[in-house]
Structure 1
Amino acid sequence: MRESLATLTSGHLLAGRIREYFPGAMVSILVALAAQFVAEHYGAPAMLMALLFGIALNFLGAEGPTAPGIALSARTVLRIGVAILGARISVEMLLSLGLGMIGLLVAGTVCTIFFGLALARLIGQRTRFAVLTAGAVAICGASAAMAIAAVLPRDERSERDLLFTVLGVTVLSTVAMILYPILTRAMGFDDVTAGAFIGATVHDVAQVVGAGFSISETAGETSTLVKLIRVSFLAPVVVVITLLSQRSGGAVTEGKRPPIIPGFVLGFLVLAGLNSFDLIPPVLGAFLAKLSSWALLAAIAAVGMKTDLRNIIKVGGGAIALIVAETLFLAALALTGLRFIELAP
């Protein structure tokens, strides 16, 4: 009798949770579908479209029936999407680039983050904001921004900073997708070097693919490979940020201290390990890649709906200068490094 009552109670609680989250989650999915439709038919970046559509529907993220589901999408669905990214990474991919290119990518990530921190101090920007923007620029754009924001200590500016960073790296990625292929031709790069430069510098994966394949098949394949290796740096960077946040004693959402390795980072590492040993079938791998893209798209739509556009404008010119400077620094570092690296054809 007691077991039946407990089961019935659990069923009611589950049904109540579904009713609570369903409207907002469906809105996030619908916005993601609309963004993907515009991206496929008009060539616009899907992430940017999801963000702008979400901002336009900002009123849905306020109090009301859709608010809980939108909050769930902006946090939990985001972490699921980042975790599933691990299915696209393998040790074999890493080794195929050669030690010189791997060293350049590591140096690009570390130096860009330290450059962002140093410049932020000079121009009066906050350390948290510098970590967020520099991490997004150095690793994988909007996906990195959302993952890093999930472990940074939260305050009243957290959502505004995240939205600005996602918007900034997406716009800069789109500009780079157009300009960088022209730059590589002007500098006389071969297809492999051009692809390596694009993969090492453009922020978002979609724009890397677009820029690389606009040059040639070889450049496109090289740029995608290099970019996915940069994505693999997301896990260690997030772990380091988590440890430093714990040491600084910053406040965290819901008053809880995050674990040393956040669950979604652990999921990322587990899937990357499975993929390294060819334990993920190609069909499942392709499905997980799609699932990750859709989860991140729905999450960024939800982030847009949770944030008031008026708050983004308050970040000021210093924030814009910071993210642009980080982007230019990474590009200059990659150009310099590629002069001294011999890439395999």
Structure 2
Amino acid sequence: MADDGPAAGTLTRVRRFFDINKYGLLVCALIATAAQFLAEHYGAPAMLMALLIGIAFHFLTEDPRMAAGIDLTAKKVLRFGVAILGARISADMLIGLGWQMVLLLVLAVAGTILFGVAVARLMGRNWHFGALSGGSVAICGASAAMAIAAILPKDKDSERNLIFVVMGVTILSTIAMIFYPILTSMLAFTDLQSGTFLGGTIHDVAQVVGAGFSVSVPAGEMATLVKLIRVTMLAPVILVLSLVIRNQMSGEVSEAGRPPLLPLFVIAFLVLAAANTFGLVPEALGRLLAEISRWALLFAVAAVGMKTSLKSMLQVGGQAILLIVLETLFIGTIVLVGTIVIVR
């Protein structure tokens, strides 16, 4: 009987964990499934649909049976989704593009984040909002916004700002998916130039794929590759922001209370990227992890939507909308000029 003690205790904890979180997890799964259905049948962006449906069900967060599972999904499932996204990344991508293209993307990403921080401060807002919006525009839209929000200090406006940024970049990314291919046609870009511009400027991966392959198959392949290079910059950006935040908090809290230098989910991201680089992640497994990551992030977006009220969203203000638009134009200009100069 003694041998059954630890096992029985573990089973009890698992059952208790499921009992506490099951309703919140199930409602997040239901909203994510509905969003995916709308995306597949009506062409609507899945992330945006999950956000909007989540906001409509904000009242569920007031139900104690739902609250714990919704909070778990918004935090833990989010980090899990970002972590396994690393399985799509490899160093071979960087080598394949060449140093000039990699340098262009690094400058575009870093410049957009710094631009966002500077303009946010000029608008009288906290630099955290500029880093959040700039990072989401510069790297990979909603996924980057949620990853960056996970390491930023929390305050009463954190969730409201996150949901606003996710919604903003998703809408702008959808608009770009429609109009940017028209722009590349007007500029008489080659397939490689079109793919470079689309992959370097559109915020979300799904919209990049849609825009790229609407031009041609070579343009779609190039756009996807360039976009994934931007995704690889998520980990270094998180590291730099973590260093800045730790430095700011050094005089406020003890060493034990300061945030980790590199969050565990970012370490997992890097480990999976390294494993993929050395060929340790089979192609089929990589595709499976990418799909799981997409669903995990869709669950998390639904949860974040439910945790944010429409009333609080309306309080963000026109300045925040202007900031995201300016960041989008900023990275678009840099990549456009770089594409014309570098890509033939």
Would the TM-score normalized by the shorter structure come out above 0.5? Answer: yes
Give the match for residue 322 of structure 2.
Answer: 321
Q: Which residue number corresponds to residue 237 of structure 1?
A: 237
Matched, 1:293 2:257: no
Deviation at 1:184, TM superposition (A): 0.7
- For residues 209-266 of structure 1, give each alpha carbon's deviation from its aligned partner in whole angstroms, at most 9, with x where no partner exists: 00001100011000000000100000110111111111111889xx943211111101
Q: Which residue of 1 aligns with 2:306?
A: 305
Kindly indicate whether the alpha-carbon contact (under 8 Å) linking 1:62 and 1:306 is maintained by their aligned counterparts in 2: no
CA RMSD of superposed structures (Å): 1.5
Distance in 1 between the 2:243 and 2:82 partners?
Answer: 19
Contact in 2 for aligned 1:100/1:342 (Cα 8 Å): no
Runs of 4+ in 1 over 2 A off after TM superposition: 1-11, 255-258
Within 2, Cα distance between the matches of 1:125 and 1:195?
35
Name the aligned partner's letter for residue 304 of structure 2: V
Q: Distance in 1 between matches of 2:317 and 2:85?
A: 33
- Give 1:6 shift: 4.3
Structure 1: unaligned runs, 5 residues or longer: none
Corresponding position of 1:61? 61
- 5 Å-filtered alignment, 1:183-202, equals 183-202=183-202
Deviations 1:54-99 (A, max 9, x none): 1111111224201101100000000000011100001111111111
AA aligned opposite 2:40: E
Using the alignment, how far apart are the partners of 1:258 and 1:63 within structure 2?
31
Query: Cα offset for 1:3?
Result: 5.3
1:245-296 superposed Cα distances (whole Å, 9 cap, x missing partner): 11111889xx943211111101100110011111111111111010000000
CA distance in 1, matches of 2:3, 2:207: 54
Q: Which residue of 2 aligns with 1:171?
A: 171
In structure 2, what is the Cα distance between the partners aligned to 1:151 and 1:131?
A: 11
User: For residues 1-345 of structure 1, what are the structure 2 equivalents within 5 Å?
Assistant: 4-249=4-249, 256-342=257-343
2-structure distance, mates of 1:257, 1:48: 34
Q: CA offset at residue 139 of structure 1? A: 0.3
Tell me the distance in 1 between the aligned counterparts of 2:247 and 2:63.
35
Q: Which amino acid aligns with 2:135?
A: G
CA contact (8 A) 1:136 1:143 kept: yes
Question: Any idea what SS the aligned residue of 1:261 has?
Answer: coil
Q: Is the 8 A contact 1:125 1:318 kept in 2?
A: no
Superposed CA deviations along residues 284-332 of structure 1, whole A, max 9, x for unmatched, are 1111010000000000000001111110111101111101000000001
The CA deviation at 1:2 is: 5.6
1:55–1:309 Cα contact (<8 Å) kept? yes
| TM superposition shift of 1:336 | 1.2
Q: Secondary structure at the match of 2:153?
A: coil
How far 1:14 sits from its partner (Å)? 2.0
- Cα 1:158–1:206 change in 2 (3 A) is same
Alpha-carbon deviations, 1:110-157, whole Å to 9, x = none?
100111111112222221101100000000000000000000000000
CA distance in 1 between counterparts of 2:11 and 2:116 reads: 49
Q: In the aligned structure 2, how far is the partner of 1:50 from the partner of 1:171?
A: 13
3-state SS, counterpart of residue 44 of structure 1: coil
Assess if the C-alpha contact under 8 Å between 2:118 and 2:127 holds in 1: no
Identity of paired residues, percent?
55
Question: Counterparts of 2:206 and 2:293 in 1: how far apart (Å)?
Answer: 13
Number of aligned residue pairs: give it.
341
C-alpha contact 2:136 2:142 (8 A) present in aligned 1 = yes
SS of 1:66's partner is: helix
TM-score scaled by length of structure 1: 0.96
- Contact 1:192-1:218 at 8 Å conserved across structures: yes
Change beyond 3 A, Cα 1:6–1:281:
closer
Where 1:340 maps in the other structure, the secondary structure is helix
Q: Confirm or deny: 8 A CA contact 1:78 1:295 kept in the other structure.
A: yes
Contact 2:193/2:343 (<8 A) preserved: no
